[in-house]
A and B are shown apart, each in its own frame.
Chain A
Amino acid sequence: MAFPPWLRRCWMPAVFFAALCSCSDAGSGKGAGRVVIKYWEKWTGFEADAMRAVVDDFNAGQNRILVEYSSVSQIDRRLMLATSGGVPPDVAGIWSKSLPVYAENNALTPLDKFASEGGVSSDRYIDVFWRMCNYRGHLWALPTTPGSLALIWNKKLFREAGLDPERPPQSIAELEQFNEKLVKRRPDGSLASIGFLPAEPGWWNEIWGWWFGGELWDGRATITANSPENIAAFQWIESYPRRFGSRDLLALRDGFGNFASPQNPFFTGRVAMVLQGPWIYNFIKNFAPPDFEWGVAPFPSIDPARFRNITQVESDLLVIPAGAKHPKEAFEFIKYVNSQKPMEKLCLGQRKFSPLRECSDEFFQKHPNPRIGEFLALAKSPNARFVPQLTVWTLYSNDMTQAFGRVWTGKAGAGEALDEVQRHVQQAFDHQQKRWDRISGTLTKEWDKP
């Protein structure tokens, strides 16, 4: 054959190489007689180590299944791509707020049958976590590591301001009274520190309305972004630039340091109270001064008689993507993680509390976070809730953050900003609802299959 010499020389190794590589494509399956299942997780660092320890225990404790743990970056995107492509992992860790999108796009395997056969049911869990894993009448996930939100306050600053350090504010009105006492201004009038600042850290701008008795969605067909309660909440937000001066607030925030550093404004005393979750303990341990005194209490509401112990809970969830090769084995692993001992080991390692109803005393004794019990108590409260299970949640959340920003900087009034969110999100929601109506018949038939 008269091929050019370079081609002649390399066709054989190339073909060999090709054969070799296409062999490796016939991927996973059995490793030394075991069924190998792939587990994709988002965690890195100590959180990953905590889960890896549980995985190792599972692998060592039986010889039928081998779990391969992978830390995957950009997990939402990669999981979507892999599932659409028909090559998903067997188990994946997602955020609870993403559940509706995956479920409604038929990207998950329903777990109802596995759960009932495996004896996993609602009475194993703190109620709110079981509800979080259900959507459109099916069970899609089981929880791993949860969080709840509470008011955290700096006891020393309270003492210095003449407030009882053991008594947190019991209502929004009291919160503002305390705020007035805690505000410190410099001689030139600029703000040196403040009691409470809704924009710090500004991670949950959608839910302020909850502490005013509002809801974000009526659970059926109407978005309620501009309900009177939500507007009241945003008017409360609006009062901040009015009372303290929006330029002064901006200057105050400009001086805040990095969250994950000793210059965190809560640790340096620039802010006396924040809304945060149990992980704040890790940051306090690593970055706060050694004499830092802090307390945990439910975040106050507008009417403590009617609205008490309101908190947002969220959780990491384990799911079995649609088209997973070994769903039965995958569920066996998930069920293992959801048993008391492994779950406590995991949550202890990640310094969170456990979503299970049963919790050993040993867990609390060993737990490094002295206030973990308060976060747990909040999660058990009847008013513990999670963000609406909407496929348009990301859009809703982004819009609310934008609205918060506009109100905070005085660019728009509370009503106006929320009206716009209402319009935009309702439109997107209606569109998604139309999509659902089209395919719900086929999907529910598929999901109900025995």
Chain B
Amino acid sequence: MRAVTKKRFFAFLVFAVLVLAGIAFLAPFAWMVSTSLKPLSETMTLPPRWIPSTIQWRNYPDAIAAMGDFWRYTGNTVFLCVMTVIGTVASSALAAYGFSRIEWRGRDTVFLVLLATMMIPFPVIMVPIYSLFKSLGWIGSFKPLWVPSFFASAFNVFLLRQFFLTLPKDMSEAARIDGCSEIQIFLRIILPLSKSALLVVALFQFMATWNDFLGPLIFLTEQKDFTLALGLQSFQSQNGGTAWHQLMAASTLVVLPVMALFFFTQRAFVEGIASTGGKN
């Protein structure tokens, strides 16, 4: 009897800690939305109020207007997300196939080189890449932000390769014996079985592009080309942060699509990370 109550007490304790932690994690979101609906005067009250006296929905259209080209920024960001997702999925799948479903000499060594490249931080190669794009005349256009995604990033190749390795070898063998070419095996057998992994790569890439700040910061020069992340930042530095209610409204708008995407694809996302990440 004592063992059971001890276990129950323990479970209750754990639950309580999790609830507290959960509240702590959700609080900033709640605060962001709460501030976005307050009139400016109420944002600076002490002690802070959670519920605004009047719900000022107009902060949202005001923020959109004050940001200038909000819808244009959204269009730019969506364009980049779509292009990078297409590029990443296509090129990473191809490369991952080459690293997992075909046995060729030196394959694993080259794969180790690929893994090593994951350790190169972007700031280290930032200047030469900038210089390269400048000599191509691409600075100020969107190209530096989506063309590289068509050349397979190490992380996604790694992810997909791990997944492809879990598919039985005899499937490919049988198909080869039947006279299928590799590309046919790739398109007709491997890809259809990898939908969840491809979805994960697509989602990761979408989030990464939506999120990207440093890239647009150095490659885009005209205000009308800005992405949402960059637009939000220049909105913030213009105001010096005094229009907090509008700033929070704008931030909420930028966060919303990502949240929505997550909710619709939740299971795939979380399972995807779980099944491919971390298992060396």
Residues of A participating in the B interface, judged by any CB pair closer than 8 Å: 1-4, 7, 10-11, 14, 17-18, 21-22, 25, 70, 72-74, 78, 81-82, 84-87
Q: Taking the complex as formed, is B192 at the interface, i.e. its CB lies under 8 A from any CB of chain A?
A: yes
Q: Return chain B residues, CB-CB under 8 Å to A78.
A: 221
Known interface pairs A14-B83, A85-B140, A87-B221; A73-B238 also in contact (CB < 8 Å): yes
| Top 9 A-B pairs, shortest CB-CB distance | A85-B139, A87-B140, A2-B192, A82-B221, A25-B141, A14-B82, A4-B195, A86-B134, A87-B221
Are B142 and A87 in contact, with the CB atoms below 8 A?
no
Query: Which of B79, B192, B221 meets A18, CB within 8 Å?
Result: B79
- Known contacts A2-B187, A4-B198; decide if A81 and B218 are in contact (CB<8 Å): yes
Contact B86 A11, beta carbon cutoff 8 Å: yes
B89 an interface residue at 8 Å Cβ cutoff? Answer: yes
Q: For residue A4, which residues in chain B have a CB less than 8 angstroms away from its CB?
A: 195, 198-199
Given A3-B191, A74-B234, A78-B221, CB of A17 within 8 Å of CB of B142: no
Q: How far is the CB of B109 from chain A (nearest CB, A)?
A: 32
Residues of A within 8 A of B86 (CB): 7, 11, 14
**Of residues 46 to 95 in B, which have CB atoms within 8 Å of A's CB atoms?**
79, 82-83, 86, 89
Can you list 11 A-B pairs, Cβ within 8 angstroms, ordered by A? A1-B187, A2-B187, A3-B191, A4-B198, A7-B86, A18-B82, A72-B223, A82-B140, A84-B130, A87-B221, A87-B222
How many residues in B have their beta carbons less than 8 Å from beta carbons of A?
Answer: 29
Q: How far is the CA of A78 from the CA of B222 in the complex (A)?
A: 9
Beyond the given A11-B86, A84-B139, please list 10 additional residue pairs across the A-B interface where CB-CB is below 8 A. A18-B82, A21-B79, A25-B143, A70-B223, A73-B234, A73-B238, A82-B221, A86-B139, A86-B140, A87-B139
Beta-carbon nearest neighbor of A78 in chain B: B221
CA A72 – CA B199 in complex, angstroms?
40
Establish whether residues A7 and B142, one from each chain, have CB atoms under 8 Å apart when the complex forms. no
Q: Which residues of A contact B166 (CB under 8 A)?
A: none
| Alpha-carbon distance between A190 and B238 when the two chains are bound, in angstroms | 39
Q: For the complex, would chain B's binding face be called helix, strand, loop or mixed by DSSP majority?
A: helix
A245 to chain B, nearest CB (A): 34
Tell me, yes or no, whether B137 is within 8 Å of chain A by CB.
Answer: yes
CA distance A299 to B83 in the complex (A): 62
Q: Does B237 contact A (CB under 8 A)?
A: yes
The answer to whether B82 and A2 touch across the interface, beta carbons within 8 angstroms, is: no
In the assembled complex, the CB of A7 is this many whole angstroms from the nearest CB of chain B, namely: 7
B7 sits at the interface (CB 8 A) = no
Q: Does B169 contact A (CB under 8 A)?
A: no
Residue with the greatest number of chain A CB neighbours at <10 A, chosen from B83, B198, B219:
B83
| Complex contacts, B83 vs chain A, CB 8 Å | 14, 18
Q: How far is the CB of B181 from chain A (nearest CB, A)?
A: 15
Can you list, as one digit per residue, whether each of B208-238 has a CB less than 8 Å from chain A (1) or not (0)?
0000000000110111000000000010011
Bound: A293/B203 CA distance, A: 68
B8 at the interface (CB under 8 A from A): no
Q: Please state if B237 and A74 are interface contacts (CB–CB under 8 Å).
A: yes
CB proximity of B131 to chain A, nearest CB, Å: 9
The answer, yes or no, to whether B188 is at the interface (CB within 8 Å) is yes
Give the shortest distance, in Å, between B199 (CB) and chain A (any CB).
7
Contacts of B188 in A (CB 8 A): 2
Residues on B with C-beta less than 8 A from A11 are: 86
- Contacting residues, chain B, for A14 (C-beta < 8 A): 82-83, 86
Q: A78-B221, A84-B134 are in contact. Are A21 and B142 (CB under 8 A)?
A: yes
What residue in chain A is nearest B140 (Cβ atoms)?
Answer: A87
The answer on a CB contact under 8 Å between B134 and A85 is yes
- Inter-chain CA distance A22–B142, complex, in Å, is 8
Closest to A13 in B: B82
Q: Chain A nearest CB: distance from B237 CB in Å?
A: 7
B89 nearest in chain A by CB position: A7
Q: How far is the CA of A3 from the CA of B198 in the complex (A)?
A: 10
Q: Is the CB of B237 within 8 A of A85?
A: no
Given contacts A81-B218, A82-B221, A87-B221, is CB(A2)–CB(B191) below 8 Å? yes
A70 / chain B contacts, CB cutoff of 8 Å? 223
**A73–B240 CA distance with the chains assembled, in angstroms:** 12
A10: B residues at CB distance < 8 A? 82
What residues of chain A lie closer than 8 Å to B141, measured between beta carbons?
Answer: 22, 25
Nearest residue, chain A, Cβ from B76: A21
Among B79, B187, B198, B199, residue most surrounded by chain A Cβ atoms (within 10 Å) = B79
Chain A positions within 8 Å of B234 at CB level: 73-74
B143: chain A residues within 8 A (beta carbon):
22, 25
A96 to chain B, nearest CB (A): 24
CA gap between A2 and B185 in the complex, in Å: 11
> What is the bound-complex CA distance between A218 and B149, given in angstroms?
54
Q: Which residues of B224-279 have CB atoms within 8 Å of chain A's CB atoms?
A: 234, 237-238
Contact A81 B238 (CB under 8 A): no
In the complex, chain A residues whose CB is within 8 Å of the CB of B137: 86
How long is the Cα–Cα vector from A70 to B187 in the complex, in angstroms? 50
- Given A25-B142, A73-B234, A78-B221: A17 touches B187 (CB 8 Å cut-off): no
* Smallest CB separation, B142 vs chain A (Å): 7
